[in-house]
Chains A and B, each alone.
Chain A
């Protein structure tokens, strides 16, 4: 192995980014998934579409608009400046924010599916056993949705590891700060360093493959109906 210092820092940065983003995605995505699974509001389709947009949009489009919104002159940028957080583009926090948007659908959808598959019955049962709606959510809905949450976490992590376009638009290519694995591979290829590109790329392939194997073994064909039937 002849990975450079920049390669290693890209690997570390990528893992840090993906880990942090996965935690944030579960915290943000679970309530959204819950709402989408249970609401009868006419806004459901609109919110669902917004969440799913990153699946169909080219990452460059998403990154471009995030850049504009988060830039010091943009609406969110002005807010972060006023709060003393500074501008987010070309920083690690900026990458985190962008990645959360970018990977959101991959987290929301498995959780939403798990909540929809269990239906309302387990919550009704919990209510007849004196559980408040909050207790029913934490003691019944979340444990029953565990396979969905696991799938969501794995997909969110893997998807963040693999992102490229959004990172390039919003984070640039700053070693140690925003230079993640996928960008580093691109750098190597640009410089005709195919051997090093290979090492990183093959590592990613192996990682993704293993992730999916584990996912299919433990997360896939699980009973998510909520009742052992």
Chain B
């Protein structure tokens, strides 16, 4: 059976962890939630580092099944684990760190070669160094390569960027995106950074106090108003687009999606390439008609499908539907009343800026 199935119950200090998840057997699943919501514990249960009651199955392989009294020890589970902090063995060189796991796999089962992993993470020039001569970002890249070299059937990543500063994060994220695009290994990625989730995740699981608040494709979950992610400063939606055309005169690129198209500053992407856009609620405003002049280039006809309170009492969130593509707009309650916005109304969504997230 394809897919990941994780059922785990474990009493923790403040609450009981109780999750029952069915996740896609490919792509990146983000476990998202506040600190102390049980994200890491779920990961540790999947890895067998923590012992919860339940069942873990990974693309047909049963790692734990209490009903059948099966529970493989961690070293018998074909997984890769990237810890939050640097976890390289200080007594081994980078090369020996990489070999540590790989040499324990039967040669026939090695699906990721040393060269592939080294090239993918860009660590060829570091091989003969000792871990204490690496920067934080380099260390984490080596740790990821080391995990990949065990040819895991599931890659578990516990906030691999949390211990790094912003510029180091930017240094690693492209490697993680390549991982996602080039290897067919399912990943469970624990994070409390919406930015990382938006860039990497296909599937999103929202954890709250040890329980699953929501689980589903990233795009669908982000546009839901009833979830706490919509409340934060970072409320945003993702739109998957393809590059439709380039406008060389104005140096713009047109990205097409189900609900229309959006123009962005000229990107070095081939026509037909996929591009994921993040559109933040605070960058979307609402106009009643398309004909009033404005400097905003991207204006999409949309229908209002609901309202929700925003973090600040002066504001509210509006959920819009642009021919099938969900959008979020954050406006003041004053404008809502002045424009007389109600559910079902046809309006124009004005998008001030978008960000390409991969």
Contacts and interface: CB of A to CB of B under 8 A. Distances in A.
B87 A227 contact: yes
A125 B74 contact: no
A124 B86 contact: no
Contact of B150 (A130, A133, A135, A143): A130
Contacts of A139: 100
Given A144-B91, A228-B131, A127 B86 contact: no
Contacts of A227: 85-90, 131
Contacts of B290: none
Interface stretch (B9-17, B76-84, B262-270): B76-84
B73 interface: yes
Interface size class of A (residues with CB under 8 A): 20 to 34
A150 interface: no
A129 interface: yes
Given A228-B131, A229-B132, A124 B74 contact: yes
Nearest to B100: A129
B255 to A, nearest CB: 40
A146 interface: yes
A127 B83 CA distance: 13
A128 B47 contact: yes
Given A121-B83, A124-B49, A228-B131, A130 B75 contact: yes
A143 B81 CA distance: 22
A132 to B, nearest CB: 5
Interface in A180-227: 223, 225-227
B90 A144 contact: yes
Q: Tell me what chain A mostly uses at the interface: helix, strand, loop, or mixed.
A: helix
A97 interface: no
Contacts of B87: 121-122, 125, 227
Interface residues of B, number: 30
A140 B87 CA distance: 12
A228 B86 contact: yes
Interface string B132-158: 111000000000001100100000000
A131 interface: yes
Given A130-B150, A229-B86, A143 B91 contact: yes
Contacts of B104: 129-131, 135
Nearest to B102: A129
A59 B105 CA distance: 53
Interface string B26-49: 000000000000000000000111
Contacts of B134: 228
Contacts of A124: 49, 74, 81, 83
B90 A228 contact: yes
Contacts of A126: 75, 100
Contact of B101 (A121, A130, A226, A229): A130
A127 B100 CA distance: 11
Given A124-B49, A229-B132, A129 B146 contact: yes
Interface string A127-163: 1111111011001100110100000000000000000
A144 B89 contact: yes
A128 B90 contact: no
30 contacts: A121-B87, A124-B49, A124-B83, A125-B87, A128-B49, A128-B80, A128-B81, A128-B147, A128-B150, A129-B100, A129-B101, A129-B104, A129-B147, A129-B150, A130-B75, A130-B76, A130-B104, A130-B105, A130-B150, A131-B75, A131-B100, A136-B75, A140-B91, A143-B89, A146-B91, A227-B86, A227-B87, A228-B86, A228-B130, A229-B132
Given A128-B80, A139-B100, 15 more contacts: A122-B89, A124-B49, A127-B49, A127-B73, A127-B75, A128-B75, A129-B100, A129-B104, A129-B146, A130-B76, A130-B150, A132-B75, A227-B85, A228-B132, A229-B85
10 A-B pairs closest in CB distance: A228-B132, A129-B101, A128-B81, A127-B74, A130-B104, A228-B131, A228-B90, A143-B91, A125-B87, A127-B75
